[in-house]
Amino acid sequence: MGSRFMEFSVCTGTVRKYGYLSGIAVGVPTNLWPIPVDTVPTFIISISVPVHWRLMASTKLKTVLITGCSGGGIGAGIAQELANQGHHVFATARDISKIPTELSSLSNVTILRLDVTSQPSITEAVENVTTVTERIGSAGLDVLVNNAGYGYSMPLLDVDIEKAKALYDTNVWGPVRMVQAFCDVLAANKGRVVMISSAGAAVNTPWIGAYCSSKAALTNISETMRLELAPLGISVITAMVGIVQTNFAQNVGSSDATLPSDSRYLVIKDFIFNPKSIENSTGGAKINDLARALVGDILTKEGGGMVWRGYKAGSNYFLTENRGLDVFLKSLQ
């Protein structure tokens, strides 16, 4: 149950949802609403057209900067989808060698080395973006997608505070630095900020509390920015992303996959560091599908606020069930 906002027009008989345009609607079926799916009619007769096709036909080509475009991740997927549509993409990463060749080889893609924890790196990126946008005839940057981030799997009793601070520096303050630095070029085009957050921000999830709390902080900051930037003509979207087939779960599980020798949780270490206990890497949405779903959020000028995208984005999938707490409790008895 993720969420997608839909508009229903009785006079035209059309249903509009981010991801698809449907005609001759007789019902509104979706498991992508922010309400329980069993409260929504479950049938439709329609001809559906992917909304990104409509956007390709009706939206002027835009300039979009995306952070965290290493291969196999959401950033690279979004960048590839937008570049394939002809938009000019600034694909960035701390290590640009990790950006896929099929992306970096495109003529409408500019590769930039960018570390969101480094102010000098960000300042240099602003200068490079300004130079390129002026050359291609754009007044500024149309969209900033703050995607860069990483995870940390560890019981909170065992969390290394310095590592948790570093996590927040990337996941929370990195996007803030980016918006501060790119505000002028975004305002010049009445642009848009897209924050890639996580459905995990809304649920208390054992063993990844440091990561989920960083996304909760980002979500709060993003929604506050939406209010503060609106007078400048800059809209802000917070994408609450569900389960996606990326390398993220493996990275979270392996980044510090060792409990302290005196940890109370040694008996369930396999639950804590098993990627499938963090994220169902085989059952999630494919990156390309998620990227296409996000295209409407990225390119449209309509509205702002929180949107829920990806497999089980709006469900309580990230609850404590099957996360080893039952085993841990038995070990204490």
The pLDDT-based confidence of 235 (bands split at 50, 70, 90) is: very high
Query: Which residues are catalytic, by number?
Result: 211, 215
Is it the case that residue 280 has pLDDT exceeding 50? no
pLDDT for the residue 178: 98
Residues 269-279 pLDDT 10s: 988 887 555 44
Q: How far apart are CA 2 and CA 131, in angstroms?
A: 39
Q: How far apart are CA 298 and CA 4, in angstroms?
A: 14
- In angstroms, the Cα distances linking 23 to 56, 128, 205 are 19, 44, 40
Is it the case that residue 56 has pLDDT exceeding 60? no
pLDDT for the residue 288: 82
Where are any strands of DSSP class E within the chain? 6-9, 14-17, 20-23, 48-50, 63-66, 88-93, 109-113, 143-146, 192-198, 235-241, 305-309
Q: Determine the 3-state secondary structure of 328 from DSSP.
A: helix
The pLDDT-based confidence of 266 (bands split at 50, 70, 90) is: very high
Cβ neighbors of 85 (< 8 A, separation 6 or more) are 52, 55, 56, 295
Is it the case that residue 254 has pLDDT exceeding 70? no
Strands 63-66 and 88-93: parallel
Q: Determine the 3-state secondary structure of 176 from DSSP.
A: helix
Q: How far apart are CA 294 and CA 171, in angstroms?
A: 20
Rg (alpha carbons) of the chain, rounded to whole number: 20
The pLDDT-based confidence of 265 (bands split at 50, 70, 90) is: very high
What domains can be seen in the chain, in order of their start residue?
6-49 (no CATH), 69-332 (3.40.50.720)
Q: Determine the 3-state secondary structure of 312 from DSSP.
A: coil
At position 2, the amino acid (one-letter code) is G
Q: How far apart are CA 93 and CA 114, in angstroms?
A: 5
- Identify which of 265, 286, 267, 268 has the alpha carbon closest to the alpha carbon of residue 277: 268
Find out whether 66 and 295 touch, Cβ atoms under 8 Å.
Answer: no
Find out whether 196 and 241 touch, Cβ atoms under 8 Å.
Answer: yes
Q: How far apart are CA 310 and CA 281, in angstroms?
A: 12
Query: Dihedral through CA 245, CA 73, CA 291, CA 77, nearest 10?
Result: -130
Is it the case that residue 30 has pLDDT exceeding 70? no
Question: Residues in the chain, how many?
Answer: 333
Is it the case that residue 111 has pLDDT exceeding 50? yes
pTM for this one?
0.76
**For the chain, what is the largest distance between any 2 Cα atoms, rounded to a whole number of angstroms?**
69
pLDDT, average across residues 187-215: 92
